[in-house]
Chains A and B, each alone.
Chain A
Amino acid sequence: ETGVTQSPTHLIKTRGQQVTLRCSSQSGHNTVSWYQQALGQGPQFIFQYYREEENGRGNFPPRFSGLQFPNYSSELNVNALELDDSALYLCASSVYMGTKNIQYFGAGTRLSVL
């Protein structure tokens, strides 16, 4: 196991609603990244948080937002859900081993937007 847990595992929402996905990282992992993985595709980077501040963002609109908390947990919030937001959302915490940044992924939250 990676030590990264995500909740819930599955979620069904309707278009226009808001959703909050949660991630609990390993203790000491002060960097967390969120990814969106559409069916049959590789994960797409949404954003990264380091010490509770966003320090990198992919090509996602502002209705995708996040929070990171001092206890190494984090949230992904998506407002005004669209059908295309249906995907697996992955959280990854990371730590440096030597010069390499090692990511540990959670099992993901499967979001279905109807």
Chain B
Amino acid sequence: KNQVEQSPQSLIILEGKNCTLQCNYTVSPFSNLRWYKQDTGRGPVSLTIMTFSENTKSNGRYTATLDADTKQSSLHITASQLSDSASYICVVSINDYKLSFGAGTTVTVRA
């Protein structure tokens, strides 16, 4: 069973709207939790990194939250743009090299 579960698997939103992606994990203890954006045919690009003591981290229109008690994280995209269409991957880092990746949520933004 994957230690990092993401939901929904995919979603379609209209340009300008907001959306929230969920990540539940069972990895414990962990060093940090990361959200990556992966465009089709490209490698993942880091959006946010949070240690277990951080509750929220923002990067432009992307805001990640972390609840270490419930082992849940979310990524909120505000005022979506067409360029936000991508796969968003939640990654829990146990140590510097042992990372557990979720399967990702595919976001499609339509005009």
Q: Which residues of B contact A42 (CB under 8 A)?
A: 2, 4, 89, 91, 101-104
Give the total of B residues in contact with A, Cβ under 8 Å. 23
Partner of B98, one of A6, A56, A99, A103: A56
The answer, yes or no, to whether B18 is at the interface (CB within 8 Å) is no
> What mask results when residues 32 to 44 of chain A are scored 1 for a CB within 8 Å of chain B, else 0?
0101000011111
The answer, yes or no, to whether A83 is at the interface (CB within 8 Å) is no
Q: Do A107 and B42 touch across chains, with their CB atoms under 8 A apart?
A: yes
Interface of A is mostly: strand
Chain A min CB distance to B1 (Å): 14
Give the total of A residues in contact with B, Cβ under 8 Å. 29
Q: Which residues of B contact A33 (CB under 8 A)?
A: 97
The answer, yes or no, to whether B63 is at the interface (CB within 8 Å) is no
Partner of B97, one of A44, A55, A105: A55
Q: Do A100 and B102 touch across chains, with their CB atoms under 8 A apart?
A: no
Partner of B44, one of A31, A45, A48, A105: A105
The answer, yes or no, to whether A111 is at the interface (CB within 8 Å) is no
Q: Do A107 and B96 touch across chains, with their CB atoms under 8 A apart?
A: no
Q: Do A2 and B103 touch across chains, with their CB atoms under 8 A apart?
A: no
What CA separation (Å) do A35 and B100 show in the bound complex? 11
The answer, yes or no, to whether A92 is at the interface (CB within 8 Å) is yes
The answer, yes or no, to whether A79 is at the interface (CB within 8 Å) is no
Q: Which residues of B contact A100 (CB under 8 A)?
A: 32, 49, 51
